[in-house]
């Protein structure tokens, strides 16, 4: 990001307002698309999308199962699931770090300080979020459909699948919430990833680094690029959803 460094120094000479600096800088960043920045954005996206997909694959069925099945202490399970939405990312990062460290039980896989470790940590972080929120969504759908599904003698596995599909639009929002959390999170990925230049540096950890170097306009500008990215993805998801509603119902 050499050109950016040059721009940064010239802005400092003018001593402009930090926020104003950052806006013009963020536009420049998007337009110029420095290859290093592009690589960081690419890694951020792959990591966030990957962990979101894993969380959806694991979290949605769990949420649906807890919503539909009757078992003792169900209320406790729901409360625990909801509580886990507030898991501190840095704690999750620490736990996954201890797991993946060479001195830890999963050390032989050599996953620490790789993008894989970041995906694992984020998946651990977001899966409870997806499970807890989908539990509520599916439960609401279940209230509406439970008599009919039992009338049709649908088995548990079928009920889970049917409810997940029937509440798909609300669940899309749940998955997007998970994605938002993944894309914006820094506490877990910086511990398990190590913020290694060119390997595990993502948007959020790059912002943290630039902030700690005191380069606030650049940090803010990167933040604005990240927000714009997440916004674009959400807009695309919304458009897709509206089209699907009209087309498929």
Partner 1 sequence: MAETSRGAGLPIVVQDLEVVRGATMLLRGVNLEVEPGKRTFVLGANGAGKSTLLRVLHGLVPPTRGRVRWGGAQLLPGNQAMVFQRPALLRRSGLANVVYALACIGVRGNIARERARTALHAVGLDAVARRPARVLSGGEQQRLALARAWALAPEVLFLDEPTASLDPGATHEVESIVRKIHAQGTTIVMTTHNLAQARRLADDVVFLHAGMATEQTPAHRFFISPQSSEAAAFLETERT
Partner 2 sequence: MKRRIFLALFCAVLASFALSAGAAGDFIVVASTTSTEQSGLFPHLLPAFTKDTGIEVRVVAVGTGQALDIARRGDADVVFVHDRAAEEKFLGEGQGVQRFPVMYNDFVLIGPKSDPAGVAKATDVLDALRRIEAAKAPFVSRADKSGTYAAELRYWKLAGVDIDKAKGPWYRETGSGMGPALNTASAMNAYILADRGTWLNFSNRGDLGIVFQGDKRLFNQYGVMLVNPQKHPNVKQALGQKFIDWLVSPKGQSVIASYKINGQQLFFPNAGTDS
Residues within the interface to partner 2 (CB under 8 A): 8, 12, 46, 49-50, 53, 57, 101-104, 107-108, 110, 112-116, 119, 194-197, 199, 209, 211-216
Nearest residue to 11 (alpha-carbon basis) of 106, 143, 3, 177? 3
Question: Cβ distance 23 to 224 under 8 Å?
Answer: yes
Q: Is residue 70 a contact point for partner 1 (CB under 8 A)? A: no
Number of residues that bind partner 1 (CB under 8 A): 19
CA distance 169 to 88: 28
Residue 158's binding partner, choosing from partner 1, partner 2, none, with beta-carbon cut-off 5 to 8 A by kind? partner 1
By CB under 8 A, residue 150 contacts partner 1: yes
How far is it, in rounded angstroms, from Cα 114 to Cα 16? 38
Choose the binding region for partner 1 from 6-14, 92-100, 158-166, 206-214 (rule: CB under 8 A). Answer: 158-166
- The answer to whether 101 touches 121, Cβ cutoff 8 Å, is no
Q: Cα–Cα distances in Å, from 25 out to 5, 31, 195, 208, 218?
A: 11, 10, 23, 17, 7
| Of the residues 20, 152, 199, 235, which one makes contact with partner 1 according to CB under 8 A | 152
73, 108, 153, 212: residue in contact with partner 1 (rule CB under 8 A): 153
Interface positions with partner 1 (CB under 8 A): 144-145, 147-148, 150-156, 158, 162, 165-168, 248-249
């Amino acid at each position: 990001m050499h050109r950016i460094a040059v721009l940064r120094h010239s802005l400092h000479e003018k001593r402009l307002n930090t926020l104003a600096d950052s806006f013009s800088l963020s536009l420049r960043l998007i337009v110029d698309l420095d290859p290093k920045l592009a690589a960081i954005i690419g890694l951020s996206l792959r990591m966030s999308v990957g962990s979101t997909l894993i969380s959806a694959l694991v979290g949605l069925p769990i949420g649906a199962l807890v919503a539909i099945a009757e078992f003792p202490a169900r209320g406790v399970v729901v409360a625990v699931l909801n509580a886990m939405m507030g898991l501190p990312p840095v704690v999750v990062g620490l736990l996954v770090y201890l797991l993946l460290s060479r001195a830890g039980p999963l050390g032989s896989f050599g996953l620490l300080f790789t993008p894989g470790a970041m995906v694992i940590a984020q998946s651990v972080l977001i899966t409870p979020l997806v499970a807890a929120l989908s539990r509520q969504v599916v439960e609401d759908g279940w209230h509406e459909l439970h008599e009919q599904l039992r009338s049709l003698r649908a088995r548990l596995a079928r009920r889970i699948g049917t409810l997940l599909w029937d509440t798909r639009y609300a669940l899309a929002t749940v998955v997007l919430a998970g994605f938002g959390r993944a894309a914006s999170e820094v506490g877990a990925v910086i511990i398990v990833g190590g913020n290694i230049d060119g390997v595990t540096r993502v948007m959020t950890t790059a912002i943290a680094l630039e902030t700690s170097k005191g380069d606030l306009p650049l940090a803010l500008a990167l933040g604005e690029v990240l927000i714009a990215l997440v916004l674009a993805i959400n807009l695309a998801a919304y458009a897709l959803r509206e089209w699907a509603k009209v087309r498929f119902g």
